[in-house]
Structure formats: C-alpha cells, structure tokens
A and B are shown apart, each in its own frame.
Chain A
Amino acid sequence: MTMTTPLTPVLTAHWDEPDSYTLDGYQRHGGYTSLSQAFALGPGPVIDLIKESGLRGRGGAGFPTGMKWSFVPQGDGKPHYLVVNGDESEPGACKDIPLMLANPHALIEGMIIASFAIRANHAFVYIRGEVPHVIRRMRAAVKQAHDAGYLGRDILGSGFDLDIVVTCGAGAYICGEETALLSSLEGFRGHPRLKPPFPAVAGLYSCPTVVNNVETISSVPYIVRNGASWYNFFGTVKSPGIKLFAVSGHVNNPGIFEAPLGITMRELLDYAGGIRDGHELKFWLPGGSSVPVLTPEHLDVPMTYEDMVAAGTMLGTATAMVFDETVSVVRAIAGWLAFYKHESCGKCTPCREGTWWMHQLAQDFVAGKATEEDLTKLEDICSNILGRSFCALGDAAATPYPGALKYFRGEFEQGTHTPAAGLFDEQASIVFEEVRAK
C-alpha cells in the first residue's frame, strides 16, 4: 500500500447510511442549510463564490462552472432555465447514476442555488431512460423537497420560486450532448444544434439556459456551506476541488472513490484493491471510452484536467476503465466503435458514415481479415472525422483507435492475419463466474 492522497468523501460521505437518499438522511448531515446562506448572498455573489471555488464542469469538458453561469444575460426579460444533464451514457462512466440514487437531495439543493444564481424559476433533470429506478428516486426526492418547502413558491421566505421537473430520455447517447439534450427535452429529435448561439444565450425554448452535469451541481451546496477556499484548497491550481473517481474493470474492488483532483491512478488502483489477483495491468482509460488509452507507464500522472491532456489523453468524466493482459485491444476498440456506430445520431456526414465504415474495418481486425493498408486507412478515416464532425460524438468515435495504435500497433498488425479469438481467450477476461460458465 502506497496511498498518500487520502480520500475526501463529501458527496459520498453518507452513502453507507440506509436512508442517505431521504430528506431526513440528508438533513441529518446539514442538508438544505446552504439555501439560506445563498439567499442571503444574492445571485451575483453566489456566482462569484462558485467562480472563486474553481469548480469545473464534471461532465467531461471541465468548463469553469461559475463562468458558465455568468454568461446568462441578466434583466433580459426572458425566462431562464437550469438543465441538469443526468444522461450519463459514456461506456465505462458510472458516477452520476449512483450519485442521484444515493444522494438526490444534494442535487436538488444545488439546483435551487444554481437556479437562484442564474435567476431561473424552472429547472429540469434529464435522466437517461434506462434507469427507471433512479428516475423514480429523483422524482420522489423532488416531491419530498417540495413538500418540505424547498421547492415551489417563495422558498424559505426568500421570494424565490423554483419548480423542478425530472424528465427522462429514450436511450440515445447523443442526448448527453447538451444541445441535443435540449432538443430532446423540447420534444424534438435528439440532434445537436449549431453553436453559436450557445445555450447561455438561446438554449431551452430559445431562452438563456445553463446545462450542468449532476456531479457539478451536487457539489454546489457543499461549496456554499463550506466556502470557496475550503473547496479550492483541494486539488491543483488549474483543477481545484474534489471529484468522484470511478474505477471499473479488472480490479479487485471496483467502485467510486471521492478524492481531490491530482490523485494518481496508481493510488486509485490501490483503493480499488489492485489489479485482480494473478493478473497485471495492460491498459486503462482515465475517463470513459472517448479518451485515448494509457498504459502502466502513466500510472503516476496526476489525475487532473491539464496533466491528462499533457499525457495525450483527457480526464473526461474521471471514470477509469482498467484492463488486464487477457484483453485484446483490438476487440476492445471494435466494441467501442460498434457503440459509436450504433449511437451516431446521423446528423453530420463524418460521424454518420465514418462510424459505419470504422466499425466494418474494426470487425475485419477482430476477424484477422484486415490488410496492411487498413491500418493506415482506419487512421486516416479517424483524421477525417476528428474535428470535422458536428459535435463531440464524432470526435469521441475517432479517438480510441489512434490512441490504441500508438501503444499497441503490433496487435493491430496481428489483426491482418490472426483473429483476436486466436490470440486472446475472451473467457479469461470475464470477471463474473456465472457469466464465464456460459
């Protein structure tokens, strides 16, 4: 054990209590006390406070939250909206769903403060449709908060009104993209929209809108309660604060670990009980399938936005996937490409057609039927998608292969003559006994 960075449970502090998701459970630990503080400060100072805390968007892009809020024009006479993105659909990402399940009131309290700050009287939580239990829990929590007077008219005598609507998507990855989410929320096809205008100017129903991730908004009450300097004491200068890190895959104790930004993957692996017994780390991804792969040599790179970029990848959602030596990189990449092909919304040419094509080539590599030429062709196709597609989905689809090629070229070359099944035993990668038995 070489743990040096201690965990800092805040959002996750009471997940082990049986009633952590209830109003009582939340209030027992100071829940909803930040509201009066925020109301006393006023909207502008709340935005300043969040700016000062250095909180960055936890949905993957890491955009400074306070700055995003400040883009909403004031006194424009239009309704403003807060939309919380709970569409968590990234392969490997699993933090917002548990967070809403175990601590929904933190999100609601954060939404009240954020809505107050941007002067919105309507807020939405958009949750992927595949998790009805989470949607039910979120709706129950909203009702509890409403009954307790934290939502509705004149909240706590502040004169501030807020209604929260919990709504669900129908299972499209694209609807995690903020403008596609807004289209979907409006009842239209989930296609991304042109930016500009940005949502802060013309978002939901063409009105100023802030779209934030679940984790981002859930962090807000704790920042208001404890102060900006408490929050930015953690982490690094460019990546301040505390973050949920998820570790999944071939580790002994997969889970969510709340820690300051800057913790290393080596430390997180230790918290996760190390690589499963008898195996060794082959490659890992710091934040979902949409970031380039890393190898054991990167285990000591601090998990911050800036250090991950320097290492040639991205922090993303900080939901790491860990793979041991039983895994075929070629097969893993092909799996992700199948996902992107399935999830491409179809709006723009590079993503729609490119994912279709990449998937076919990737299948050839898996089957050992690819050609030498396909190695560079696939790379070139990626270069014709990356930065050419309408939204980040295309970029995400074009990311896995070039990253993997950098470190595992040999495996792809093998894909020109040997099927992945002949090189890696798929059964050996399976963690759960009952699945392996089949």
Chain B
Amino acid sequence: MSDPSAAPVTEVVATVTGTIDDVTVTVPKGTLIIRAAERIGIDIPRFCDHPLLDPVAACRMCLVDIEGMPKPQPSCAVPLGDGMEVRTGQTSAVADKAQQGVMEFLLINHPLDCPICDKGGECPLQNQEMSNGRGESRYSGAKRTFAKPISVSEQILLDRERCISCTRCVRFADEIAGDPLIDLKERGAEQQIAIGDQPFDSYFSGNTIQICPVGALTSADYRFRARPFDLVSVPTVCEHCAAGCAMRTDVRRERVQRRLAGDDALVNEEWNCDKGRFAFKYLDSRRICVPLIRENGEFREASWPEAIEFAAEGLAPVRGRVAVVPGGRLTREDAYAYAKFARISLATDDIDFRTRPASSEEADFLAARVAGTGLGVTYADLDAAPIVLLVGLEPEDESPILFLRLRQAVRRHGTRVAAVAPWATPGLLKTSATLLPTVPGAEAGVLDALATGGPDLDDAATTISAALREPGAVVLVGERLATSKGGWSAAHALAEQTGARLAWVPRRAGERGALDAGALRGLLPGGASLTDPVAAQAVAEVWGVSRGQIPARTGRTLSEAVAAALSGESQAPMAAVVGGMDVDDLASPAAFRGFLRQARFVVSLETRHSAVTAEADVVLPVAVDTERSGSYVNWEGRVRHFPKASRQEYSLTDGQVLGLISEKLGSPIGNGDPASLAAELESIPGVTAGRPAPSPVAPDPDPAAPAQGQAVLSTWRELLDEGSMQQEAHFLAGTRRQSVARMSAATAAGIGAVSGGEVEVSTDRGEVALPLVLTEMPDGVVWIPANSVGSEVYRELGTVEGRLVRIAAGGPR
C-alpha cells in the first residue's frame, strides 16, 4: 500500500551555529541550548526540562552563562542563536555557582530519606547533586514537612516533602494526556502538588511516576518492592495492544517488579498507558505449570513427552477436520507456527486468529489490503495528515498510544481528527475531533456519503470529505468495523475514491502479526492467497512439502467452523487446537463452548485455566510474554522484536509445543524456535502482484429500526476493564472508569429513564443494569462498556455492537 521511499523529501531547515563550552555546534534554528548541548555530549543538569514538554524554566538548574547577557539564562528555554557563545558550569564560574546555588536550594527542604525512597539509585536529584552540587549543605534550619504519603489516585502516591515543584507531572497531564487533574496549590515553599475534586484517574497517569525527577510520585504497586540496582532491566514490547510501545521490564529473581515506558521516538516517544505499565500481575499468577491430560473426565498431571504423545494421538485420526484457533495474543513467530501446523500437520485451512466478533468481509479485506503489506501508515504520518478519520475505533480505549500521538498531531501539527462514531467520547474531545454521529451498523452509509461528497452532506461532513482528498489523508479502521455489515467495503471504496490511505488498527498485539503470518483462512504466510498457485508453490518450497500437501481450498473462519460443527455439516471440524483466548471475547461464547463440548478432541495451549481448558482433553502450558522472545507487528506494520525478559528456561512457546506435536504427527514443522520461525517466515517471498479487492458487501438495506423499548447497541472495551490480562492488578483496577449506560435524552425519555437512574439493557440471554448518563448521541442507541464491571456484554447479553437490545428504566439506584 505504501512505499517508504515515497516519504516527502526532508525539508531544508535553517540552521544556526554557536559555541557551547568552546565547542562549535550547528543546529536547526529554534533548537534550545540544552538540546544543542546534548548533541555534542555536554551535560547540563536539569529537572523541570523534558524534551517532550513545553519549557517552563522553573527549576533554574540548567542556568548557563551566555556571552553578552547580564545574568545566567535557563538553557532549557533559550534557543541557541547564531554566533552565541554559551558556557555551562564546566567552563564558567558564574554558571557553576548558579547551578550549585540552585542545587543547594533544592535540597534545603528535601528530606534525606534516599535509603528508603523508591527513586534512590535512579534519582536525577541524587545523581545531579553528586555531579553539580556542593557536597555539603550550609542549611541548618528546620525542613518543611508534610503528612505522607497522600494518594493522588489509587495507584499513585505522593510524598509532598520530596517534591521539587518541577511540574513535569502537571504538564504531562495537561499537555500530553489531556487530563489536567493535578496541579499546584498553595505557594512559596508550602507549594505542593494536589488533586481537585476527583482523583488523577488518567489512562496515562503512570508516566508521571517515571518522569518525576525525585521520589515524590510513586507507584502504590511498586512502592518499597525493590531497589533499582537489584533489578535486571530488559527492553521489551508491550503485549497489551497493537500500538507497539517500547517498554522496559524490570525483573528481580525472574519476577517482573515493574514496567516502564521505553524510548522510541517513532512509536510511543517516551510514554505508555497505565495498562501497559501496571497490568503484569497475570504473568506470575495462577499459572499452569505442568501438562494436564484428561482421564475419566478428570485432569491428571503428565510429563511433557506423554502429553505431546497424547495430543498427537488425539489429533491424528481427525486430521483435516480440526479447527485451529491461535488467538490474537501470539507473537508473529508463534502465529506462523500455528499457520504452518494447521496446513501441513493438520491438513486444514480452518484457521482464524480473530477470537472476537469478526466477519468474512473483514477477513477478505484484511487479506487483500493489509496482510503482508509491511510498514504502511505510520505514527509520523499522522503528524503530516490533513485529516485522520476514525471508523469503528475509539483510540483512547482501544489503542491508547495512537490516541496520544493523535493528540500531539492535533496540538502541534494542526492535524484534524474526525470520527464515525455514536458519541463524542472523552478521547474524541481531547483530540478536538469532529463527530459524524452514526448509529452502529450504519457506518457504511456515512462512509459512502463521504466518498461521494455532494450537496447532501452537512458542513462538517463536506469539510471532512474534502480534506480526505488532500494528500496525506488517513482513514483508520478499528476491529469493530467488522461487526458493521458493508463497513469494510465502504471504507475500502472511500480510500479508493478519495486517495486517502487506509490502515487497520486492531486491538490485540498479536493480530497484525498473525495476519502477516497467515493464521487466517485462505491466507498464506506473507499475505498471498491460498488459492494463488504460484504463491502456494513458493510456500510449499520453503516448507519442504509438495504443493499438494497444502490445503487447496479456502477453509472456514472461526464462526463458520463453529456453525458448521454445530449444524453437523459433513467435513465440519470435529476437534480443535486452541491457543490463548477467552471464550467470552467471542460474539457468541455459548456456541463456541458447545462446539468444544461436542468436539472429539480439544488441545489447549494455555497459561491459566479457562473455559477452553475446562473442555480440553489435553492442556499444554506455554510461555507467557516475559518467557518468550519474538516480535509483535503493531498496527503500522512495524515489526517489534523483543527478547525474553525472564531467564526461566523451562517454559515452552506455542511454536515449540506445536513443533513437538507435529513431529509426533509425522509432518514436522521444525523445532518451533522463535528465531528459526522468524527466519523462515521472512524467507517466504512477499506479495508481488497486486491483489484484487474482494467483491463489496452491501450493507443491510433495511436495518432493523428500534421499536419502543429497544435500542441499537453500541459497545466497546474500555482500556481498563475486566480483561483477563488485567487480573490481580488491583491498584490499576481502582482507576477504571465507572460503568455507565449512555443514551440520548429523547431515548431515555421514551422509556422513562432519568439521568443517574438505572437503565436495564437486556436480550433473551440476560441483562445488565447501569446508571444512565444522558449523552448527545443519535436517538435509539444505547452505549454500554463491553467488558467492564457489571457490563459484560458478550457473556451476559450474548450480542454484539449494532444489534437491537431491549432497554428499560430500572429502579432507583
């Protein structure tokens, strides 16, 4: 889709040349002195300065002496000028005295509690006191004290006496996250960080702990857990969503103690979300450690050789009739192992990584437009885009770093954001987005109208329609568009007609990699169609099998496979190999459970007990994220390699387990080692010829209009919810948003519901009851969170976005 070499030619930027400590440096005009000094390796001490935040020049630690200026200047706020002669503390007595003076001031009220402070050992204040301080304080008075600590949120504690008022946290919350929930109060030395009426429940609050240059903000979870010098830090990649954040995982005795945002200017800059930072307890808790074999209805522990043998014996008789369900959380390498294992060991193409509401239409368009296309639209492209149109995607909940980058694009580069969505969410408001209010299921119609343009559009839509035709325009499609019939067809047509670039933003970290690896029916690794004889031949050669050993016919998607099995279709799957998944993530959990129950043989590759292991004949424990190496492919198509964070040697990856089974089955896929899988996958030639677009799917011509007491359901997963990977992260759970139902005033009036009162949303399966928040949105629509406390839509209601549900006013809360 995109050609990296087509990136705009780097603009010629004006430069200035000055000297810092007699070293000549040339930098782009506008570069701050402190940044220019960094370029030539001159270290200027600093606290309030942060390269991604606006300068405030408050701490005064970075004062430098500039020739011709009467007093020292803050290098974090003054751009280098042409011919400017700058002297830092290293060559100027004035700057040195200024810096030492500021350091002395900072310490007069700072407690000497480094030995019990989380920051001790990695503390900029401690470090810079060593490098730029005077060693001994002349202060002999009483230090200011505060009650300690106070909670600014459930997961962030504040020791006010340690704070040096740099306001990095305040500025982050305001400038980057857009959640200005903390600020200074009082003044002078009594000045302190404080919250107002509500806690600092920002999805990004954890970043403030990381950028706090002292130990004032600490993590309730990590507090007093470890000393920085006892930790082994490993650069990793976040497994929670498809944003692809670089992370740092800090491990002690092979257990994760904390996770931090890693630095990657191209992706997450220096930030991550609280889910990525704090949701890691699941890694070490309630793990299945040994293989389990079901005997007379009960599990018993088994050795690995016995369990592998057992699995192979169970699968061998049903070859060709096995549904393979890798799940969306695998590395690209392990997903590839499933793709290969399904085709040559199980002789089936019934493979689908999408363990969520999905459609054949989506599968076809993903195969045609996304699979194997490499790096497409990038984060940087958002900065340059005149408009970014969001469809079936709520970035703050579903791809939080995409949200942060979008917000920066809007704030710093003037990018416009528009959303085809039912209501203006906090995330849309924080990106100043234009809302095209849309009833779920009607996305295709809105997209068609934008593609056509024309006089029928209102002003907002006309502007958006025109902007989409400008160079660099981007359409971002989320996983939820799959539930809107004709949505993908319309998005494709919109991109074709306007020239806007289209990108798919899945929610799960493993989905794009699984797509590229061919873990989807009809799709070969590398992105070619299974029915493309040339491509199939090439893959067969890499696999060392004959063309005939690869299934020739396109198989079934997951829902098709389940439906076929339940309806007793001939040649329907009668066994399953299931990777890490949560049955309640599916549009119809009951159907999948029924399939597993009736299946002759179920192999589960899992880390914890689940609804799948409950039905499995053999459970093979696999490595969690910290115990495997490999790569995720983020939504941009960027391959994000990461090493093992833990040195534990005994756990096996999905790929290794499948490798062992395949050997027993007599059709080996290799040892399943991540490095060899990656090498093999990359040796498969990519898609060369253009792939034809699938034939468009028409939207429902006559979508069901809600009758009295009914509404169209709108729902998605909030970032912090009941997700299984957030289990045991109790402090994080304390910052979740409250579960509410949203509908328009007219819709509420229609059922006699009042703001703050309870609303019951129900189907034939069940009901959820939530307090009502009146929201400006199309009439006849109700929004509830998909998997939050008291609102588990798939499990409780058994329905998906865009379907009709019953609504009724509940009793008083």
Q: Which residue numbers of A lie inside 8 Å of B, CB to CB?
A: 172, 174, 189, 191, 194, 341-350, 352-357, 360-361, 377, 381, 383-385, 387-390
Contacts and interface: CB of A to CB of B under 8 A. Distances in A.
B412 interface: no
Interface in B182-237: 183-184, 186-191
B313 to A, nearest CB: 72
Given A345-B187, A346-B186, A356-B144, A388 B71 contact: yes
Given A385-B101, A388-B102, 13 more contacts: A189-B183, A194-B55, A346-B165, A346-B189, A346-B191, A349-B61, A352-B105, A353-B108, A360-B141, A383-B101, A384-B102, A388-B60, A388-B72
Contacts of A383: 97, 101
Contact of A346 (B70, B71, B108, B187): B187
Contact of B106 (A194, A345, A349, A355): A349
A384 B188 contact: no
Contacts of B452: none
Nearest to A353: B105
18 contacts: A191-B184, A194-B57, A341-B189, A343-B188, A344-B187, A344-B189, A346-B187, A347-B165, A352-B105, A356-B189, A377-B138, A384-B97, A384-B101, A387-B71, A388-B72, A388-B101, A388-B102, A389-B60
Nearest to B138: A377
Contacts, number: 98
B72 A352 contact: no
B109 interface: yes
B164 A346 contact: no
A332 to B, nearest CB: 21
Given A349-B102, A350-B105, A357-B105, A390 B188 contact: no
B165 A352 contact: yes
A388 B109 CA distance: 19
A399 B699 CA distance: 76
Interface in B142-195: 142, 144, 164-165, 183-184, 186-191
Contacts of A349: 58-61, 102, 105-106, 164-165
Interface in B240-297: none
Given A194-B77, A387-B72, A388-B72, A352 B191 contact: yes
Interface in B51-104: 55-61, 63, 70-72, 77, 97-98, 101-102, 104
Nearest to B101: A384
Nearest to B94: A387
A414 B189 CA distance: 29
Nearest to B59: A349
A387 to B, nearest CB: 3
Main secondary structure of the interface of B (DSSP, over half): loop
B277 to A, nearest CB: 29
B318 to A, nearest CB: 69
Contacts of B70: 387
B63 A388 contact: yes
A49 B164 CA distance: 48
Nearest to B170: A189
Contacts of A352: 105, 165, 188-189, 191
Contacts of B141: 357, 360-361
Contacts of B184: 189, 191, 346
A172 B101 CA distance: 26
A120 B593 CA distance: 72
Interface residues of B, number: 36
Nearest to A342: B188
B187 A172 contact: yes
Nearest to B167: A347
Contacts of B59: 348-349
Instruction: Please give me the 7 A-B residue pairs with the lowest Cβ-Cβ distance, nearest first.
Output: A384-B101, A346-B191, A387-B71, A353-B105, A344-B188, A356-B189, A360-B141
Interface string B124-146: 00000000000000110110100
Contacts of B57: 194, 348, 390
Interface string B776-790: 000000000000000
Interface in B19-76: 55-61, 63, 70-72
Contacts of A356: 108-109, 144, 188-189
A389 B187 CA distance: 15
Contacts of A350: 60, 101-102, 105
A381 B101 CA distance: 8
A343 B190 CA distance: 11
A348 B101 contact: no
A354 B71 contact: no
Contact of A347 (B58, B97, B109): B58
A388 B89 CA distance: 14
A390 B60 contact: yes
B188 A345 contact: yes
Contacts of B77: 194
Contacts of A345: 187-188, 191
A189 B190 CA distance: 15
A381 B104 CA distance: 10
B365 to A, nearest CB: 45
A118 to B, nearest CB: 27
Contacts of B105: 349-350, 352-354, 357, 384
A251 B55 CA distance: 48
A361 B58 CA distance: 24
A349 B165 CA distance: 8
Contacts of A361: 141
Contacts of B63: 388
Nearest to A189: B184
Contacts of A341: 188-189
A43 B3 CA distance: 56
A349 B191 CA distance: 11
Nearest to B184: A189
Nearest to B104: A384
Contacts of B61: 349
B44 to A, nearest CB: 15
A223 B249 CA distance: 70
Contacts of B189: 341, 344, 346, 352-353, 355-356
Contacts of A381: 101
B165 A357 contact: no
B153 to A, nearest CB: 21
Contacts of A388: 60, 63, 71-72, 98, 101-102
A384 B104 CA distance: 10
A361 B108 CA distance: 13
A291 B534 CA distance: 88
A390 B184 CA distance: 17
Q: Find the residue from B56, B59, B63, B188 having the highest chain A CB count within 10 A.
A: B188
A129 B489 CA distance: 63
A359 B454 CA distance: 72
A90 to B, nearest CB: 17
A87 to B, nearest CB: 15
A189 B194 CA distance: 13
